[in-house]
Amino acid sequence: MDFDNRPIGVFDSGIGGITVLRELAKAFPHESFIYLGDTARLPYGSKSGDTVRQYSVQNMKFLVSKNVKAIVVACNTASTQVLENSFEGRPVYNVIDPGAALACATTKNKKIAVLATRATISNGAYTKKINKIMPDAQVLTQACPLFVPLAEEAWYEDPVTNLIAFRYLNHLKAAEVDTVVLGCTHYPLLKNAIRKIFGNYVELVDSGEAISKELTQDFDGQLLKRAQQNKSFLTICLTDASEHFENLSNELLCSVMNTQIQFETVSVI
C-alpha cells in the first residue's frame, strides 16, 4: 500500500474550527494537520457571501501552497460559499453536507432545528441540503450571533450563556424538534448550555463528528491515502497573532494530540 504523509489542511475564521480539528485528530491519530485560523478577518458570520467566498479562496490557496493532500472547510459560513468538491487537485470537504446528512439519519419525527450565524442562516444552505435528502422534513432555523463571542470569551458554563441560550432556543424546544444541528463550528463549545435548554431527548448534531465520519469513509474508499504510522505534526497558522487563541486551542486540543503544536503567524493575501 502506498502512503501519503502530506498533511490535511483545515481552515476556519477563528477558534471554532478547532472543534472540527479535534474530532479529526481523534479519528486519525497518525495524520498531520495544518490548521489555518483567519483571525485577522474574523468573524465570517456577519459578512456578505462575496466577501466570505473571496477569503475562502485565499485560504485554500494558502493551504495548497503548504502541500496539503485534502482541504477541510471547518467553518459553516465559509462552507456555504465553497461549493466545489476539489480545489487545485485536492479534494475539498465542507461541513454542511455531512451535517445535513447526519441530521436526516438521526431525526425520527422529521422536525430539525438548525442553529448558525446570521450569514449561514440567510444563505439557506442547510435547509436546502436537508430537504434534498428528506423533502418532508420540517426545518426551523435560528441565528445565534452572540454564541461566537461567548465561545471566544470561554464562558462555556455560565448563567449568562444559559440565559442567552434560553432566549434563542426556547421556541425551538416548544416546537418539539428532535434533532438540532450545531451549524457553526463554535457552537459545540457551548454544548452543555444548549443541552440544558433541550434536555436529553433531543440529539445534537456536531459538524466535527459528522465530517470525521465522512473522511473515514473516504479513507476506506481509498480516495485519500492514509499516512504511515510515523511522527505526525500539527501546525496552527494564524493571520493575526493571538495569545488568547493559542491558550484556547492548547486547552481544547491537549487531550487528543500527542504532538507539540507549532504556532505561526502568516499572510494569505
The answer to whether 117 contacts a copy of itself (rule: CB under 8 A) is: no
Residue 104 among the catalytic residues: no
- Catalytic residue flag (residue 254): no
221 contacts: CB under 8 Å, gap ≥ 6: none
The one among 32, 39, 76, 232 contacting a copy of itself by CB under 8 A:
39
Q: Which of 104, 144, 184, 237 is catalytic?
A: 184
Q: Extract the C-alpha cell encoding 184.
A: 457553526
Using rule CB under 8 A, residue 69 touches a copy of itself: no
The nearer residue to a copy of itself, 67 or 170, going by C-beta atoms, is 170
**78 vs 161: CA distance, rounded Å:** 25
Cα–Cα distance measured from residue 42 to residue 11, given in angstroms and rounded to the nearest whole number: 12
Q: Nearest distance from residue 14's CB to a copy of itself, in Å? A: 9
By CB under 8 A, is residue 150 in contact with a copy of itself? yes
156 lies in the site for a copy of itself, by CB under 8 A: no
Q: Does 41 participate in binding a copy of itself (rule CB under 8 A)?
A: yes
Which lies closer to a copy of itself via its Cβ, residue 54 or residue 109? 54
Residue 262 burial (C-beta neighbours within 10 Å; 0-12, 13-18, 19+):
exposed
Query: With binding defined as CB under 8 A, does residue 266 bind a copy of itself?
Result: no
137 backbone dihedrals φ, ψ, rounded to 5°: -70, 140
- Looking at the Cβ atoms of 46 and 106, the one nearer to a copy of itself is 46
Long-range contacts of 80-88 (CB under 8 A, 24+ apart): 80/49, 80/52, 80/119, 80/120, 80/123, 80/125, 81/49, 81/52, 81/53, 81/56, 82/53, 82/56, 87/60, 88/60, 88/61, 88/64
Which of 128, 167, 171, 231: binder of a copy of itself (CB under 8 A)? Answer: 167
Which distant-in-sequence residues (6+ apart) come within 8 Å of 257 by Cβ? Answer: 25, 234
Residue 109 beta carbon to a copy of itself: minimum distance, rounded to whole angstroms? 31
Q: Is 42 in the site for a copy of itself (CB under 8 A)?
A: yes
81/50 Cα distance (integer angstroms): 8
Query: Shortest approach of a copy of itself to residue 267 CB, angstroms?
Result: 10
Residues noted as catalytic: 75, 184
Can you give the binding site for a copy of itself, defined by CB under 8 A?
39-42, 46-48, 51, 118, 145-146, 148-150, 152-153, 159-160, 163-164, 167, 240-242, 244, 269
